[in-house]
Chains A and B, each alone.
Chain A
């Protein structure tokens, strides 16, 4: 199938090209979509079926040190979800385990089985870059890449205190280049560093407070400096930003302050749901999702993914270790708290969201408010912050919540009513997403925000990553089991089953920088760290299927 194929007569949802459910043929040649093919090429009859570009996950945790720590922490959660190796006509599928944090092979198979063809791991510390790439190399089917962490690293702090914009920009570029990352991610700017430096678990850093051990570095300066550097470098994806105080009642204040501090610069706000809480006078958390959406509605340079909470098992997995410690204390569950030298941290707690729990129900409602109140679906991406709000395998159910009001109303009856009071859901939000809007929030939007012009759309020249669904009354079932999936023009899934194993590409950004920053960084880690600077550098031959995107700057 790698050659030519005409997919005939399907209903095409391709919002990037203004196509909304029109019956069309799609033509594939050499892994790409082409405008036309001569008569007589092989055909696939898609009459009555729904065609979309392959799904694009802009924010998930699927590879690298923290993901494997989570796997090791909870083997008991995976014993009942096992996958045997299986012979295919051409090759074979690898064995593995599933659960919330599947093994690498199974991660790829399950994304593919759900009609997704691209996924980005959202947080890798520079020292974990090699590890993350090794796991992504073993993740089949999908195209992938990761965002490298910056914004709690001592070297950046030193530059902010003693150097200028140029040096910061060079450091940002070197960090991305060494790690072979696709984008830059800031997690709780300065907050992890402050927390690591303090013996007290409740240590918190205000947006304008100085990071301990620095002269004048504040979260505001970090956000502003890194966002500027990313823009100046012209990286395809803007700064990917996890704001301060994730999960804390009242954190909508710092979220809004962060959005304002960006002052018109581009940014993608990660899992905004977790940053959208107010605090009632009696101390109870409330939802302020509506205010955040209103700000987004007025600021097209900002985008977000929701980080929807789905009831059931989850795993908190974050560089924001303070949150992990809080969840550990709340639940008494086992946990991991790892300090990563000079740059980051890592916290992991097995968790469960329950519909009757006030806070969990509030989080669930706040996520739906973000989806349903946003004026422009191009600014909102569907995510569960897998596995933090729930598994990526819950996406079909989430799509049904958005598309099917009757189903949503039934679900509303299950959740803690006190948490719903005061949210827009209590006012009877009637909106139902259309298939075209679903195509935006699951593929076209994230591809655009990632700066991946060949993804998320089905125009001539696009990668032939195509998902074909059979329409069903049960939207969840329809999206959980695509009839066909094409990846790079090859048929890899039929009726939800992998029929061919392919390996996608690893996307990285070319971020040119000078030698000076390399030697300054090398001196710094020699003075303070234990890992020589050349070990931060991932070599070209470590990525057997790399695709390099040039920065525009």
Chain B
């Protein structure tokens, strides 16, 4: 923890209504703004540490507001599939050590997560011979160097996955001629289904937080169902590729503290779970909130929600200079903040950074001090 009152780094002063302010002044203004709101929203948190995310949940609870990580709208398809059917999955090291088939379904992991292959999938001595298959879903392309490529019309993606599901279960498909996407013959479908159904260990990668133009809400569900249905004689796993940061940590913290991974509404004093309704993207786009606390950047929010941020009373903690924020409090950049982050496969990591003398407060420091001010004001 940094000591309150320590000077901020040069050029990184807190600001209230555009004017430079001390940290104490900025915290007081932020607390006042949030306490005045009827329905404050706490969002962002994509790069915050677990420690800061814990503090953010407590603040949202004290404010009886809504808390939702900025990336939750993009992640909604994967989250809904998980709630509907569960998942068959693995940590990345299992893919590294065991996979004989890697299927990239409309994703090039190296484009989402720098050095993904070098970090997580370097071949293991004595490991199985590994084949790779890139499935290009329209413009969402798999990696360039894959052993094999297939293309799917994005408008027919789910139908193809459903047909594959039937085929891995050994159901005979007698489709009308246009039931399969262009370029897919029943023979080709059976060939791929046969490979999947006989795979000792195969891993599907898909993009877990795709931007709107690459989003097919049913894709995660259909991939998961395909992997489960091939289970009679195959071991297929499905792994969502997520960008660097700590979106998985935010889900973990929200889950253990409230029981729900996202879109948690404390308006009644207890957590309610309302994805697609009380989530950040919807509340911002539909005037469902009257003040926002943004932890870190807003880049993960959909464009309409980002635009709404400029029209609302905004407290911005850390992140790129929040130009329109009523209160902006700079904090240490994530890379210099010690603490925990969760990897895309759910494994926790610790960033160990020696404390330095001259340092801006961390997100956690600021959130804890805000909570203290909110409690002084009599909440709860």
The answer to the question of A413 belonging to the interface, with a C-beta cut-off of 8 Å to chain B, is: no
Are B259 and A102 in touch, CB under 8 angstroms? Answer: yes
The answer to the question of A72 belonging to the interface, with a C-beta cut-off of 8 Å to chain B, is: yes
The complex places the Cα of A138 from the Cα of B53 at a distance, in Å, of 13
CB-defined interface of A55-74 with B at 8 Å, one 1/0 digit per residue?
A: 00000000101011101111
Which of B88, B91, B342 is the one whose CB lies under 8 Å from A337? B88
Q: Which of A88-96, A302-310, A449-457, A482-490 contacts B (4 or more CB under 8 A)?
A: A88-96
The complex places the Cα of A535 from the Cα of B343 at a distance, in Å, of 12
Are B90 and A338 in touch, CB under 8 angstroms? Answer: yes
CB-defined interface of B318-349 with A at 8 Å, one 1/0 digit per residue?
A: 00000000000000000000001010001111
B39 to chain A, nearest CB (A): 17
A-B contact count (CB 8 A): 174
A161 to chain B, nearest CB (A): 14
Q: Which of B118-126, B134-142, B152-160, B299-307 contacts A (4 or more CB under 8 A)?
A: B118-126
The answer to the question of B149 belonging to the interface, with a C-beta cut-off of 8 Å to chain A, is: no
Which of A67, A75, A96 is the one whose CB lies under 8 Å from B83? A75
Are B380 and A65 in touch, CB under 8 angstroms? Answer: no
Are B235 and A104 in touch, CB under 8 angstroms? Answer: no
- Chain B's interface size range is 35 or more
Which of B251, B260, B352 is the one whose CB lies under 8 Å from A539? B352
The answer to the question of B231 belonging to the interface, with a C-beta cut-off of 8 Å to chain A, is: yes
Are A94 and B257 in touch, CB under 8 angstroms? Answer: yes
A73 to chain B, nearest CB (A): 6
The complex places the Cα of A473 from the Cα of B67 at a distance, in Å, of 46
The answer to the question of A519 belonging to the interface, with a C-beta cut-off of 8 Å to chain B, is: no
Chain B residue, CB-CB nearest to A129? B348
The answer to the question of B205 belonging to the interface, with a C-beta cut-off of 8 Å to chain A, is: no
The answer to the question of B173 belonging to the interface, with a C-beta cut-off of 8 Å to chain A, is: no
Which of B82, B96, B232 is the one whose CB lies under 8 Å from A529? B96
Are B61 and A200 in touch, CB under 8 angstroms? Answer: no
Known: A84-B268, A339-B91. A65 touches B346 (CB 8 A): yes
Are A531 and B86 in touch, CB under 8 angstroms? Answer: no
Which of B50, B62, B270, B340 is the one whose CB lies under 8 Å from A82? B270
B267 to chain A, nearest CB (A): 11
Within 8 A of A (CB), among B86-125: 86-94, 96-98, 119-120, 124-125
Which of A86, A97, A339, A342 is the one whose CB lies under 8 Å from B260? A97
The complex places the Cα of A416 from the Cα of B208 at a distance, in Å, of 46
The answer to the question of B54 belonging to the interface, with a C-beta cut-off of 8 Å to chain A, is: yes
The complex places the Cα of A71 from the Cα of B259 at a distance, in Å, of 6
The answer to the question of B77 belonging to the interface, with a C-beta cut-off of 8 Å to chain A, is: no
Chain A residue, CB-CB nearest to B236? A199
Are A341 and B349 in touch, CB under 8 angstroms? Answer: no
Write out the residue numbers on chain B whose beta carbons fall within 8 Å of the beta carbon of A69: 346
Are B251 and A127 in touch, CB under 8 angstroms? Answer: no
CB-defined interface of A357-389 with B at 8 Å, one 1/0 digit per residue?
A: 000000000000000000000000000000000
The answer to the question of A85 belonging to the interface, with a C-beta cut-off of 8 Å to chain B, is: yes
Q: Name 8 A/B residue pairs within 8 A (Cβ), A-sorted.
A: A67-B256, A68-B255, A73-B82, A84-B270, A103-B259, A135-B256, A196-B235, A339-B91
